Structure 1
């Protein structure tokens, strides 16, 4: 008996040791190549980059495989075979491109200036990436390039072949495609200045998706350059000291040797040249490349250890790479001393030392920000404080903010649910009086994307007066519901009544004859002809990046009301069944629509909550079926890892939640609906010091159906769990099997009612 106890104890210790080893280095499961290139080049795969960065860092140092990047927006496509250089800023997973600042490229031979001349072939066999590190052999130049980063500094190590003259070009003209993109991109002004034989500095001012960006840099080299040449347009200045213009480049020459690699560290600032120099001195005063790699990996391990999981090796790679992508942005624009440029282009100081941007809110409000409230609550508060700074200078909250500039991309104002979610979850560190003023103003102040006077006049947005009218009406109705909840909690009765009334405006676009939300004009007539399969893009149609099928389900604030509108639970689930099985794909499918299961297009955000809606209508086993199918068929651990643009952490956050077994259908309700857990175990490390453990030891493969649930050892029949339950700590256990249990979770009282307030 004693020996048996010892054996069990040793086995338990072995499991604990194994779990600890996994937790200690979760970065080992991250594959930065996931989401960098589709197998079918006509498909979307993520639009992620594989280069070096730190969590939420300003610098994303990565290779660009296109001379003038536009698609994919990350600048890197796994299917390409050439590298044009390594630029210091990138977007992760977005549908449109920008940034690509301060490109550096080593090469050998004659001095050349054009991208087609200094580009190099490469192969994936000679390419590696891990959190905080990237390396590749440039075949054309037989030169090895290694990259790492701190928050504001990129560090590169070039190993040239011995006996050659090594060159490094710094190209300030490299940008997104200046001729073929949605908006004009051009360099307004740029400068390179030679400080000494180890140092250059400069800036560029550029317009593109972000209307005006100032990028300052200081580059220091580990050994002196023996000569330099500066270029503006077609004019070369040998041994120049400064060059100004709009097509500025510099070439620096080095005596190459395999035994003495050339290192260059580049500090960036969005504020000033002095800021770039200060960031460089503060974050990377030395030249220890390997130590910098280790520090970056340690920073990633610290952040990634917020959740420890047990599953298959593939599941762990998808999961931790998803966390990695979710923590790649928003990016801290503030310098090391807290200085940042406001939306009014004045220099300001952030008291907490951070000012974040890259807010892809139309995507990330759905799951990424709710994930942050669980595992990054202090950071989410800092994100919100950064959003509030836009309100202070701009008059309303961010819609899609890039480099501190409002781009007006997408519809609605989904900073609102992010703030309301934080308020209802009691995240500290936020001035909620100011926050309420901001969300209220953002719901009534007219701006190019939201003519609220039309909503007040017609109680919907008429298509003949406002394009994307159906999507805009539905999404603003959700935002209004969020404002109403915060108003009610703060005792603002009149505001509560006003915004709750507007939150019901979605009903005014419901056509009982077709059983879809349809566009209608100011005279009240429906927009005709109508085909629910017809897609809209980003203007010129009633639907935004979707069709009537996909927007039929967008009432996350009132799913019970939507069920009644569609004729009751049976009628609702019948229509959902058709949605998930109707295979028709007309020729005008928008490029953002991908990852189809029937009409559910998981590759784009309007469909993300839809498979969970069966939980509300007494058929939770169908939620389990479709969420498992999406995870098993539409995510993988290869370059084609996503079914659509990853969108700054949203696609990843959907998987992170869903693999653990739950998802926030209404991302401002503090309610998480159950799906089909795929991981055997997940432990969430809570900010309050507690732990919330999810166990599903039989999960995976064909065991996609919930047989029973226990919360802290007691039988649990509800098809949801609340944020409060999670923060209380404890253990949620799923018993999984290959056949649906149609008795579990099917009673009306088991369904999520829509709110936990």
Structure 2
């Protein structure tokens, strides 16, 4: 991987130096970003081109021999070790665990005659040494197809450049049916229409169904005239809604063809307007590529890191992944298509979606509040717009009431995961003084209150209010299914706590008391006999048939947990760690349980699905989010130094600068945010309210360049492979005798200094 990355630096450096717009006196942070990290196995990252938070992400769709588990490995369309490339799609998710997107596939070739009866016949081998990727850019040579492919992007437009060995036979496949997942392609599109506007333009519409139904309008423009087009029959006799086209071009004696694809959720004319506004015309590929690089440098320059090249690559690659999403799907005029299918107008000109909130509320969203508070305001406005316009149906138990987004994809709720974790994101922003641009505090709280007190799919508040927990065998409405009952309760009680903090600040006393009372309901499912949280029935009887190492989820009837086991959710009381310690028997019992989790010889086991679990340390599962705060919990005990060792091991061994370098789904930046916080030396165990638990920094020095013009510097004195244990911490010259810093102390600017050593000091236990 090191060889390939050096190749990236060399090629990209030559390309960018040719642009007069590039400021040669500024730092090029993009040279420390390796977009191939996390593209093999469970990371589910993609190496294609994108701008920060952009709507489009053109990139390769790779392919290999089909095997059990193939579909889930290819959630984002690409695996680094795949043998072939099918083509290049215009949209991709980053690091997710469910497949979707990969809209509108293009594949260029020459010197070939291809049998179109099977999609895989259009695949091509490629040499790894020709594959180049960097922020805003991707390139590869398709060996079988005798063509060099380059991709870049603006926010709404994918820009392709093809250089053919034999331009006289230059051909282009456009597959409008294509979407993620080999098995789902024939049924991916529910409806479609398209037309060739002229000899240079193809435009149309399609509604895709995978994970969430999405309306996509597009315009595809070619730099050369289409001289011949053929509409292909659907492969293998499938009845597909959208066509595939084979195009040949009048290359005019040249070997280069450029293609631009503008996208919109509103209409074809809007897609055309987006394209016209963002790209001046053909022949500007290098200019667009350079502008994308500059946009990424503006993001990456938010933190200056001192350390080895390897450390910088790991850090800035994580920062890059953090800003791939959420995605703004509003057109340049601020209009977008909402969840009810109608066109809406954003008051801020943007509408952010791709909200993996079950994952990102834990660390990604708190990191945004430090680095990009204006952006957080826009996120909250978008979530409030979603709530305001959300369709609801009193006759449909799943959608009987409005609620804030849970896992939203392109403006549509996917109903994925549990809890209502827009609540901690919005409440945390409010408590840090970050407010939406068009909604009052009371309007925001009303959305939160409705979301946590009115029944909807997977929140079960009627059962919680009646029993104080979610019984495994009770049913009040059609949404009550007896699944994930412990996780749903624990995640809901955290949302209640966050809502309660906002209620307290707004002096809503009755609401505060109600919410904080419910926030303590986690006690109701703690089984003192086993020492774990467990499901129980309406009679108050705990389940006795639970294996604490078995990973279960909504796919298992009567399951206690969501993508986890009893160990993973044992510590999922982020708002009341001290109360949890008391419930578990005090300091010693708490430490012993942590030790058991990290150092037991057993591993988490999935017995009901074919699912390879990566990133485990004993029963701790770094590859999935409910565990992410647990390494920091020793900091609440008299054995604080034990966190330091675990943090060091996770940073060094669970994140690598290679394609397998993310040990679990990156989940829209959450795994990356954990790395960023942990490298800096603090982490939001409780992600709402602005308290960060002091950890153990993993870099020598970092300066956060705050949006208000101030700087917050972190220094780790004497940090080395042996000196990884924190001896003392000082803030602005004063020694800290507490285990946290707060958000105000960071954004006011200052200097946080860690003294590192090889042995725990007296205050950290033995």
Q: TM-score, normalised by structure 1?
A: 0.91
Judged with a 3 Å threshold, the aligned counterparts in structure 2 of structure 1 residues 525 and 592 are, in CA distance, closer, same or farther, namely farther
> Residue 70 of structure 1: CA displacement?
4.6
Residue of 352, 358, 361 corresponding to 1:362:
358
Q: Say if 2:428 is the partner of 1:421.
A: yes
> Residue 527 of structure 1: CA displacement?
1.4
CA distance in 1: counterparts of 2:33 and 2:702, whole angstroms: 17
Superposed, 1:260-339 pairs within 5 Å as: 260-287=255-282, 288-339=284-335
Superposed, 1:250-649 pairs within 5 Å as: 250-255=245-250, 259-287=254-282, 288-394=284-390, 395-430=402-437, 431=439, 432-465=441-474, 466-540=482-556, 541-585=559-603, 587-588=605-606, 591=611, 593-649=613-669
Q: Secondary structure at the match of 2:623?
A: coil
Q: Secondary structure at the match of 2:389?
A: helix
Aligned length: 711
Q: Say if 2:53 is the partner of 1:48.
A: no
Q: Secondary structure at the match of 1:668?
A: coil
CA distance in 1: counterparts of 2:176 and 2:120, whole angstroms: 16
Tell which deviates more after alignment, 120-129 or 48-57: 120-129
Q: Report the RMSD for the aligned CA atoms in angstroms.
A: 2.1
1:345-404 Cα distance to aligned partner (Å, 9 max, x none): 110111211001100000000000000000011111111111111211221100100010
CA distance in 2: counterparts of 1:515 and 1:235, whole angstroms: 56
CA distance in 2: counterparts of 1:501 and 1:62, whole angstroms: 49
Superposed, 1:21-100 pairs within 5 Å as: 24-38=27-41, 44=42, 46-66=43-63, 70-100=72-102
Superposed, 1:145-160 pairs within 5 Å as: 145-160=149-164
Q: Any gaps of 5 or more consecutive residues in structure 2?
A: 1-22, 65-69, 391-401, 475-481
> Residue 314 of structure 1: CA displacement?
1.3
- Give the conservation status (yes or no) of the 8 Å contact 2:175–2:245: yes
CA distance in 1: counterparts of 2:214 and 2:137, whole angstroms: 27
CA distance in 2: counterparts of 1:258 and 1:679, whole angstroms: 54
> Residue 69 of structure 1: CA displacement?
5.5
Name the counterpart of 1:13: none
1:640-692 Cα distance to aligned partner (Å, 9 max, x none): 11110100000000000000000000000311111110111111111221110
Superposed, 1:146-225 pairs within 5 Å as: 146-162=150-166, 164-177=168-181, 179=183, 185-210=187-212, 212-225=213-226
Name the counterpart of 2:119: 115
CA distance in 2: counterparts of 1:634 and 1:573, whole angstroms: 23
Q: TM-score, normalised by structure 2?
A: 0.90
> Residue 530 of structure 1: CA displacement?
2.5
Q: Secondary structure at the match of 2:58?
A: strand
> Residue 71 of structure 1: CA displacement?
2.5
Tell which deviates more after alignment, 75-84 or 702-711: 702-711
Q: Say if 2:688 is the partner of 1:668.
A: yes
CA distance in 1: counterparts of 2:307 and 2:717, whole angstroms: 9
1:613-663 Cα distance to aligned partner (Å, 9 max, x none): 111112210111111111011001100111101000000000000000000
> Residue 599 of structure 1: CA displacement?
0.8
CA distance in 2: counterparts of 1:626 and 1:282, whole angstroms: 50
> Residue 153 of structure 1: CA displacement?
0.2
Q: Secondary structure at the match of 1:396?
A: coil
> Residue 299 of structure 1: CA displacement?
0.4
Q: Say if 2:155 is the partner of 1:135.
A: no
- Give the conservation status (yes or no) of the 8 Å contact 1:189–1:245: no
> Residue 592 of structure 1: CA displacement?
7.1
CA distance in 1: counterparts of 2:694 and 2:605, whole angstroms: 35
> Residue 506 of structure 1: CA displacement?
0.4
CA distance in 1: counterparts of 2:45 and 2:536, whole angstroms: 38
- Give the conservation status (yes or no) of the 8 Å contact 1:160–1:257: no
Q: Secondary structure at the match of 2:133?
A: strand
Q: Say if 2:737 is the partner of 1:714.
A: no
> Residue 315 of structure 1: CA displacement?
1.3
CA distance in 2: counterparts of 1:37 and 1:355, whole angstroms: 31
- Give the conservation status (yes or no) of the 8 Å contact 2:49–2:137: yes
> Residue 330 of structure 1: CA displacement?
0.4
- Give the conservation status (yes or no) of the 8 Å contact 2:603–2:616: no
CA distance in 2: counterparts of 1:70 and 1:643, whole angstroms: 15
CA distance in 2: counterparts of 1:586 and 1:351, whole angstroms: 46
CA distance in 1: counterparts of 2:35 and 2:492, whole angstroms: 35
- Give the conservation status (yes or no) of the 8 Å contact 1:161–1:258: no
Q: Secondary structure at the match of 1:709?
A: strand
Judged with a 3 Å threshold, the aligned counterparts in structure 2 of structure 1 residues 742 and 251 are, in CA distance, closer, same or farther, namely farther
- Give the conservation status (yes or no) of the 8 Å contact 1:545–1:593: no
> Residue 497 of structure 1: CA displacement?
0.7
CA distance in 2: counterparts of 1:586 and 1:730, whole angstroms: 42
Name the counterpart of 2:477: none
> Residue 249 of structure 1: CA displacement?
1.2
Judged with a 3 Å threshold, the aligned counterparts in structure 2 of structure 1 residues 23 and 741 are, in CA distance, closer, same or farther, namely farther
> Residue 256 of structure 1: CA displacement?
5.3
Q: Secondary structure at the match of 2:756?
A: strand
CA distance in 2: counterparts of 1:27 and 1:209, whole angstroms: 33
CA distance in 1: counterparts of 2:158 and 2:171, whole angstroms: 18
- Give the conservation status (yes or no) of the 8 Å contact 1:709–1:734: yes
CA distance in 1: counterparts of 2:612 and 2:359, whole angstroms: 12
Judged with a 3 Å threshold, the aligned counterparts in structure 2 of structure 1 residues 311 and 234 are, in CA distance, closer, same or farther, namely closer
Tell which deviates more after alignment, 351-360 or 706-715: 706-715
- Give the conservation status (yes or no) of the 8 Å contact 1:325–1:648: yes
> Residue 35 of structure 1: CA displacement?
0.3
CA distance in 2: counterparts of 1:641 and 1:22, whole angstroms: 32
